[in-house]
Structure 1
Amino acid sequence: MTTADMIHQLRLELWNLTYTQWKTETLFSIQWWSLIALIAISYAIWWAIVDKRRLSQILLFGSFVAVGRIVMDIIGTNAVLWSYDIRPTPFYPGPFQLDLTLIALAFMVVYQYCHSWKKFLIWTGVVTGIMSFVFIPILIMLGFVKSYNWNLFYSFVLIFGIASFSRWVLLGVLNLQQNQE
């Protein structure tokens, strides 16, 4: 058996364990319903306050943040730096993962209200601090997430960097678009 075949076999075993755990321990549990409710409430609040006139721009920014955060999550989960015990779906990384969803929604609000770099960076620091040092530890304490050899300060630096880079890219795209008109 080649190394590639062994990796495939292990991935198949991991999928079977993950799906069984999700189906028998997670799906329809109180934690699962709490997760679904928190995600739904977050989207409802975001929808109520988002500037609909700038919706496509804000969504593009949120997409950049989400993609950056998903890349971070793929690396972190594959390197076994953290794992998710409670997920809306059995997939890794899961769609609508709580921290991924809330981070993107929170930064879309920051982007919407912060027009200058200074204000954006200050509020990005505040939101990133809350996410990294309050929200993620609560998720760990409640058993939604497990952390292995991971320092929450790294989360702060990476999430702050993702949000800032996303704004920089979006402003570049908007500038390019404006120059073409």
Structure 2
Amino acid sequence: MDELGKKIDKVSNQLTDLRWEIWTKHSLFTWQWWMLLATCILFLLLFFFFVKKEKALSTTAYLGIIYIINKNLDDMATAMDWYDYRLQLEPIIPTMLPANLFIIPIGFSILYQRFERWKSFLISIGIFAGFVSYLALPLMKMVDIYLEKAWNANWSFISLVLMSIISKTIIDRLKQAYKDT
């Protein structure tokens, strides 16, 4: 077991070295890198601009659940080699930090806060999930940020819609339970 652990450590260190190399030689300060950075800043500003103080706790809790689900799904998908990210904002994390921490959680959180009724919420998340899955991801492929392997836009759409529904259900039930006490 110790020998296998040493092999894993060696391969992991080699992978980290390769990530640093590709990041410093092919990603850092490219126009795609600046676009990813600007997108993070834009979504952070949108969050602070649109989130109402009286709904900040539930909206932030919703954001947290979306982040946890999305990050874990992305970790699993990249580990299973279903897709990969060729250009990154930072070199260490193999998943797409701008999407996992900013675009998807903040986008869905703003919609969660804005559309409280299920019908309007479902329509809005369908539109946003469609934008991410059928427009943003193909654009990311075109500019060599995203590499699709055993994955497709339909799976992205379904996973985004399901994670937003699950998150809303959890937060709404917690709010109701808190109200009932």
Residue matched to 2:166: 165
Distance 1:168 1:93, change over 3 A: farther
CA RMSD of aligned residues (A): 1.6
Q: Map residues 18-167 of structure 1 onto 2, 5 A cutoff.
A: 18-93=19-94, 97-100=97-100, 101-167=102-168
TM-score, scaled relative to structure 1: 0.91
- Give the counterpart letter for 1:98 in structure 2: P
Worse-superposed segment, 108-117 or 47-56: 47-56
Residue matched to 2:11: 10
Task: Give the drift of 1:121.
Answer: 1.3
- Give the counterpart letter for 2:87 in structure 1: I
Contact 2:66 2:164 in 1 (8 A): yes
Q: Give 3-state SS (helix, strand or coil) of 1:2's partner.
A: helix
Worse-superposed segment, 22-31 or 123-132: 22-31
TM-score, scaled relative to structure 2: 0.91
- Give the counterpart letter for 2:25 in structure 1: T
Which sections of structure 2, spanning at least 5 residues, go unmatched? none
Which sections of structure 1, spanning at least 5 residues, go unmatched? none
Structure 1 residues 11-62: Cα deviation after superposition (integer angstroms, max 9, x where no partner)? 1111110012112221222221121112112221232222122112111101
Structure 1 residues 90-127: Cα deviation after superposition (integer angstroms, max 9, x where no partner)? 12245x72222211111011101111112211211111
Contact 2:39 2:103 in 1 (8 A): no
Task: Give the drift of 1:150.
Answer: 1.0
- Give the counterpart letter for 2:22 in structure 1: Q
Worse-superposed segment, 7-16 or 43-52: 43-52
Contact 1:107 1:163 in 2 (8 A): yes
Q: Quote the sequence identity (%).
A: 21
For this pair of structures, how many residues does the alignment match? Answer: 179
